[in-house]
Amino acid sequence: MRQFFHGLITLLFSLSGTFICITDVNAQDVKAYQIYTDQGKRTSYRKMLKKIAKSELILFGESHDLSLVHWLELKVLESLAADTDLVLGLEMFEADEQQDLDLFQAGEISQDQLGEKITLWSNYDTDYRPIVDRAIALGLNVVATNAPEEIPREVFRDGFSVLTSLPDDVKGLLPSIPIPYDSRLPGYQKMLDMAHGDMNTENFPKAQAIRDATMAHHIVRYVDDHKVLHLNGSYHSDFYEGICWYIRQYRPATTISTISTVTQEDISSLLPEHEHKADFIICVPEQMPRSYHSQF
């Protein structure tokens, strides 16, 4: 009998340890994302929204292949639209596509017809269509801000000199020529370091700059009378460069809030390398599923 009770007690302690182990696992705080301030302090969606709502322009820097971040963009859109006359600007549409985008917003062409007229991003249906559709349902104006793709390609090949020989209707889609440019900006310097092989090293960041400048040009057309939420890849606004720098050239007094997106193995604290990238940094686990496989 003593052996029986001894065995029973041993079994209970063994099971108790198992229960403790299971409880510990279930008690872990599993998060899909964590928002940080520019100084790496944890903050909340509510506090972020309260701050960015005070700005004329919100540059939401995304990772193009993270569907979770696109959902957050949708929530920010809905939150801002509730209290303001909002415009949605998108890197994902090029300025020469605005007429077709307007027809779609007016209900004069279908989604399929829009896709026949312009080249939509490969992840448009999964990642951007819900945002665009929601914006239209809310009665918001959706604005194409990016430079027509052939322009950065020509700048990459031949430099800014090609801009002066463009047809007038194409020049009308771009900011005033010559565009301001500072090759010393750290983001552009980093692109120079990335250049390799047969790349025209000097023109590599210039091709990025014409995109940044064009997006800024189309944004400032609206900020006098509207609040603008602009969606763009993080690199276009990280460290307040890119689009931010051009906004300062074209409309210096614009109040801007920036958001960046980063991924980390552990999101419980922000790595120092990500601090000061933006006013708010959304940190997402590296394991988060991707909507497509990026080459970069």
CATH code assigned at 159: 3.40.50.11550
Give domain status of residue 69, yes or no.
yes
Give domain status of residue 290, yes or no.
no
Give domain status of residue 225, yes or no.
yes
CB 238 within 8 A of CB 277: yes
Q: Domain residues for 252?
A: 33-285
Q: Residues 24-62: pLDDT tens digits?
A: 444 457 899 999 999 999 999 999 999 999 999 999 999
Give domain status of residue 272, yes or no.
yes
Give domain status of residue 121, yes or no.
yes
| Cis peptide bond upstream of 178, omega within 30 | yes
Q: Residues 128-145: pLDDT tens digits?
A: 999 999 999 999 999 999
- Those residues of the chain that have pLDDT short of 50 are 1-27, 295-296
pLDDT at position 291 is 87
Give domain status of residue 27, yes or no.
no
pLDDT at position 13 is 37
Give domain status of residue 6, yes or no.
no
pLDDT at position 118 is 96
Give domain status of residue 269, yes or no.
yes
Q: Give me the number of domains the chain comprises.
A: 1
